[in-house]
Amino acid sequence: MAEKLERLPGFRDFYPEACDLRNYVFETWRKVAARHRFVEYEGPILEKTDLYRRKSGEEITEQLFHFVDKGEREVAMRPELTPTLARMAAARQRDYRKPMKWFSIGPFFRYERASKGRLREFYQCNCDILGETSDQADAELVAMAVEVMVEFGFREGDFVIRLSDRGAWMDWLTEQGISGDAALAVLQAVDKLGREEEAKTAEHLAGAGTNLEAVRAFMARGEEASPRAVAISRNLAARGLAGFLQWDLGIVRGLAYYTGTVFEVFDIGKGMRAVAGGGRYDNLVKLIGGVDLPACGFAMGDVVVGNFIEETPHAKARFEAWKSDFRAADAFVIVADEARRDEALAGTQSLRRAGLRVDSCLTPRAVGKQFAAAEEATARFAVIYGGSAGWISIKAMSDRSETLCETGALPATLLKLLGRSSEI
């Protein structure tokens, strides 16, 4: 027997059960994006490696699946979408009214040590607003991130948006006479506060020309430190979303390219994980595409939010309800008299044409087995071809109540029983 070929480590097989959760996450992202009037786009999964180098420097290649293709091009499987978005937006931004509210859902690849919530292939939803400098754009994004979580069934107390302002940090650092690499070192130390030993943090800060007391005094200023935070808080309060918001200058996010507000969707109490994150990056499109286009955005991955749904009973219940609705067959066609098989095929066809989800056994089976298959398919109705020629028996699977109809009246009768008008 042939040696078994396994999948690669850090990659996933989505068997139907797992694919259901994936599709539920995608559908929810799409639904909420549409309500907020974001339009969908997508880029290539493979790009020139230089696209990522330009944004993040040579060290980015350490976590890339990258190689030289048959045309001698240095290429990489995309680790994130923002460079592609910047490339695409720079090339054609003139064709679109500003602000551009764009989103995308697709796979990404990072060569990392695999662990819970961290895989080598994962999906992300990326939402960005381009061509708008106002804080109102940042607020719209934060509101959308909240609504995605609410649509998943999460509530106040399950998660929080931690909002901060890297711009305020940069202003403060400038006041302190700290810039360049030293400024970045301070932000990296702040990013690790509470996770790194205090002595170590103090050392890093000292090396950058400041100290813990000064940093803590700045962070204690809270919202006062940022006029942006005040504007965004007011916007979100007007939407009734203040309860989801927490101002926290300790959030700086690792990436160097953020220029203004930054935020994270943070899971409270479960794994204390960042479910999503983003912020304003006004200089990146220029850096990558040579066109001045202010922007802000966030990304949410499927892995952490999927785990979070599975672990949160009221969110999971919502997914389960979606799944059982989605997975249920409207009808299961049963051939009780083999002489009527052709008729049954015609009936199956007419029901599917009418938009219904219809299953049947492909080959002759005892009626009892066909009913068992109908149960397995969680069918709402059994459509039975037996008894009198020209007549069909429709049985509700819940209570076995029966309706008889003539062959030609099948789709209309079943649609009525299902409480639906024709879906054609």
- Residues 81, 87, 257, 278: which binds a second copy (CB under 8 A)? 87
Using an 8 Å Cβ cutoff, are 255 and 274 in contact?
no
- Residues 313, 362, 399, 400: which binds a second copy (CB under 8 A)? 362
Contact region with a second copy (CB under 8 A), list: 91-99, 218-226, 383-391, 396-404:
91-99
Q: What is the DSSP letter of 6?
A: P
Contact region with a second copy (CB under 8 A), list: 206-214, 221-229, 257-265, 351-359:
351-359
Using an 8 Å Cβ cutoff, are 274 and 132 in contact?
no
Smaller CB separation from a second copy, 225 or 347: 347
Smaller CB separation from a second copy, 46 or 255: 46
Question: Residue 40: what are its φ and ψ, rounded to 5°?
Answer: -90, 145
Contact region with a second copy (CB under 8 A), list: 127-135, 251-259, 296-304, 409-417:
127-135
Touching a second copy, residues 216-245 (CB under 8 A) = 234-235, 238-241
Contact region with a second copy (CB under 8 A), list: 165-173, 194-202, 243-251, 343-351:
343-351
CA gap 23, 249 in Å, rounded: 35
Burial class of residue 66 in the structure, from the number of CB atoms within 10 Å of its CB (0-12 exposed, 13-18 middle, 19+ buried): buried
- For residue 424, the minimal CB distance to a second copy (Å) is 10
Smaller CB separation from a second copy, 108 or 218: 108
- For residue 343, the minimal CB distance to a second copy (Å) is 8
- Residues 21, 75, 304, 309: which binds a second copy (CB under 8 A)? 75
CA gap 31, 151 in Å, rounded: 9
Touching a second copy, residues 154-213 (CB under 8 A) = none
Nearest C-alpha neighbor of 140 from the set 43, 67, 37, 58 = 37
Q: Is 356 a binder of a second copy (CB under 8 A)?
A: yes
Q: In what order do the strands lie in the sheet with 261-267?
A: 39-40, 100-109, 121-130, 295-301, 274-280, 261-267, 159-165, 245-247
Beta strands in 208-285 (DSSP E): 245-247, 261-267, 274-280
CA gap 11, 18 in Å, rounded: 13
Q: Which two tokens stand for residue 235?
A: 């916007």
Query: How does strand 100-109 pair with strand 121-130?
Result: antiparallel
Report the SS3 class of residue 162: strand
- Residues 226, 228, 343, 392: which binds a second copy (CB under 8 A)? 343
Site string for a second copy, 309-328 (x = CB under 8 A): -----------------xx-
Site string for a second copy, 249-288 (x = CB under 8 A): --------------------------------------xx
Q: Which two tokens stand for residue 367?
A: 């009626």
- Residues 7, 94, 195, 400: which binds a second copy (CB under 8 A)? 7
- For residue 257, the minimal CB distance to a second copy (Å) is 14
Smaller CB separation from a second copy, 25 or 190: 25
- Residues 21, 25, 60, 77: which binds a second copy (CB under 8 A)? 77
Using an 8 Å Cβ cutoff, are 263 and 145 in contact?
yes
Q: Is 44 a binder of a second copy (CB under 8 A)?
A: yes
- Residues 116, 134, 314, 338: which binds a second copy (CB under 8 A)? 134
Q: Is 12 a binder of a second copy (CB under 8 A)?
A: yes
Q: Which two tokens stand for residue 145?
A: 């991130």
Smaller CB separation from a second copy, 43 or 117: 43
CA gap 281, 103 in Å, rounded: 16
CA gap 13, 15 in Å, rounded: 6
